[in-house]
Chains A and B, each alone.
Chain A
Amino acid sequence: MNNKKKSILIFTGFLAILILISIISLLIGSKNTSPADLLRAITGQSDSEYSILFDIRLPRILIGFAVGGGLSLAGAILQGIFRNPLVEPYTLGISGGATLGVCLNLLSGLGAGLSFLSMPLFGFLGAFAVILILYSLSVKRGIIKMNGLLLTGVMISFVSTSILMLIIALSKAEEIHRIMFWIMGSLEETNWPLIWLSIGISITGLIVSCFYCVDLNALSIGEEGAAHLGINVEKTKRIYFIITSLLTGFAVSVSGVIAFIGLIVPHFLRMFLGGDYRILLVSSYLAGAAFLIFCDTVARTALSPVEVPVGVITGIIGGCFFIYTLTRRGILWEK
């Protein structure tokens, strides 16, 4: 079986899983719905069912798709570029930068003229700033080696959290509530244009990154090795940095900080599917989307009627997984 057929088969499998999880997520909640009810709601025979399914649950699933897929894809890309299996938007501090950007926007009102676009825009700018710092420190000037990179990322997260604290300390009570609620990470979103825009950005990111996945494969033999294979390394990195900033900035601005999706999903897939990015990128996207929708369903239903922030769930799973990986990383990814 050649690589092309193999990857189509794998993608179909993940797509099926994604659709299955989405349907299950649509049907369960504080009030369980049967598939028959779903059919009745679609055909317009039941208005109350319709509103629960399509105004409350469906937006969450769509956001889960865009955010989960986007973050997971961003993680896979960053791992490829930095050639380190432990980097992802959260561990590199990119999510932290995006958070700071969005908070600055919330409080300063700088982007007021842009209405719902201002949050994603500031998220993107924050994320991009962090990537530029990391890039100029590590890759270009070679100041930090790969392992130092993670520490630098964690420090950037600390710094942005501290600045965030400062902002919160200086702001009014009702604003604090708004910020805290958003930071905890939730997939709740009622603004339909924003939902469609998130999906659009997320899928565009996936399509563009697929065009360069051969370059990412070549980068796994080192930057010089890739250049010797005729890859314009600087250009590839620039494109990927913009894509990951966009994906992360958007995800953070829509749903707050959802940690570790970009770590767990690509890592897990790499164990089973190997390191070929032609297969890994799309798989990571689909599996990441499915995983976040699953986590969100758990967050909604596990302690019902109390709703747990989904960021808490991924944070707990991901943090444990990170430590586990760290202890056995030599086996999986030797330099």
Chain B
Amino acid sequence: MLDIKNLICGYNGKNILNDINFSVNKGEILGIIGPNGSGKTTLLRALTRILKPYSGNIFLLGQDIHDMGYNEIARKVAVVSQEHESGWMKVEEYALMGRVPYYNRFQLFEKKGDIEIAEKYMLMSGVHLYRDKFMQQISGGERQLAEITRALVQEPELLLLDEPTSHLDITHQVGILDLIKRLNSELKITVVMILHDLNLAGEYCDKIILLNQGCIYNHGTPHEVLTYKAIEDVYKTVVIVENNPISNKPYVFLVSEAEKKKNI
């Protein structure tokens, strides 16, 4: 689905990512984790062609993305970023924007089919309940759902998300990740998402990439990547990793300074 080969990129001549190589298989949910400044968002920006790499290639379905048109990419890859700017529009109008990659040059208005598709995904994500509200009037969780809906209306094969659960309460965190999991299994959408929360990453992702200072520290299943050694090495924090009693996925426990002293 997605192959990254020897990717080097950064800003203003400074390398943020060094020689990144990995592949994402069709139908996979890949989580990207790593400390602040490790290059997670830079990687995502490179994948969507916002940032031009210094060297290396990114292949989407076997085709180099720098040989593809902007429209062509937008029909295959949808992005939910951390930027929350939405102008002055209603949730419904915002969702319908997802059809823009399918417009012809001289097409100004949506067709009947476009509205039906927007309708379908609004029902699926539940944003139809507040479709007439303005994007500025809804809560952070509703907003995130609206953005995911807009991305779905693009009918992508690959969905990229930059911290979809940040600033949300646990109800919305789980709600959004459950939705993503459902989209993955029902619509066969491949998902690549940056996550801050290691436990959510362990719970929901098939594969995880741990980034450290612009390099891939480890790439594998949650059990392979989320080991106490790797996390202590990369995050410089003492942790204990146990399995979640329900899902048997790895769960990271933090150890506070006071507790550390007690146990010595």
- A interface with B by C-beta (< 8 Å): 2-4, 7, 83, 210-211, 213-214, 217-218, 220-222, 224-225, 227-232, 270, 274-276, 278, 332-335
Contact = CB atoms under 8 A, between A and B. Distances in A.
B122 interface: no
Contacts of A224: 45, 50, 81, 83
Contacts, number: 83
Contacts of B107: 214
Given A211-B106, A224-B83, A278-B108, A229 B101 contact: yes
A232 to B, nearest CB: 5
Given A211-B106, A220-B86, 4 more contacts: A83-B87, A221-B97, A275-B89, A278-B108
Given A228-B48, A231-B70, A231-B100, A333 B88 contact: yes
B142 to A, nearest CB: 15
A2 B113 CA distance: 13
27 contacts: A3-B109, A3-B110, A7-B109, A83-B85, A214-B107, A214-B108, A217-B100, A218-B100, A220-B88, A221-B85, A221-B86, A222-B83, A222-B85, A225-B83, A225-B85, A227-B49, A227-B50, A228-B48, A228-B74, A228-B77, A228-B78, A229-B74, A230-B70, A230-B75, A270-B88, A274-B89, A275-B89
B97 A227 contact: no
Interface string B101-135: 10101111110000000000000000000000000
A220 B81 contact: no
Contact of A275 (B72, B73, B83, B87): B87
A194 to B, nearest CB: 31
Interface in B29-71: 45, 48-50, 69-71
Nearest to A275: B88
B154 interface: yes
Contact of B109 (A83, A231, A278): A278
Interface residues of B, number: 37
Contacts of B21: none
A334 B86 CA distance: 9
Contacts of A227: 48-50, 70
Contacts of B45: 224
A198 to B, nearest CB: 26
Given A213-B108, A230-B73, A335 B85 contact: yes
B98 interface: yes
Contact of B70 (A3, A232, A276): A232
Contacts of B191: none
Contact of A217 (B78, B97, B154): B97
Contacts of B106: 211
A229 B109 contact: no
A276 B93 contact: yes
A278 B79 CA distance: 24
B136 interface: yes
A226 to B, nearest CB: 9
Contacts of B71: 230
A282 to B, nearest CB: 10
Residue picked from A229, A270, A275, most chain B C-beta under 10 Å:
A229
Contacts of A332: 88
A225 B89 contact: no
A221 B94 CA distance: 9
B39 to A, nearest CB: 17
A210 B109 CA distance: 12
A253 to B, nearest CB: 31
Contacts of B109: 2-4, 7, 278
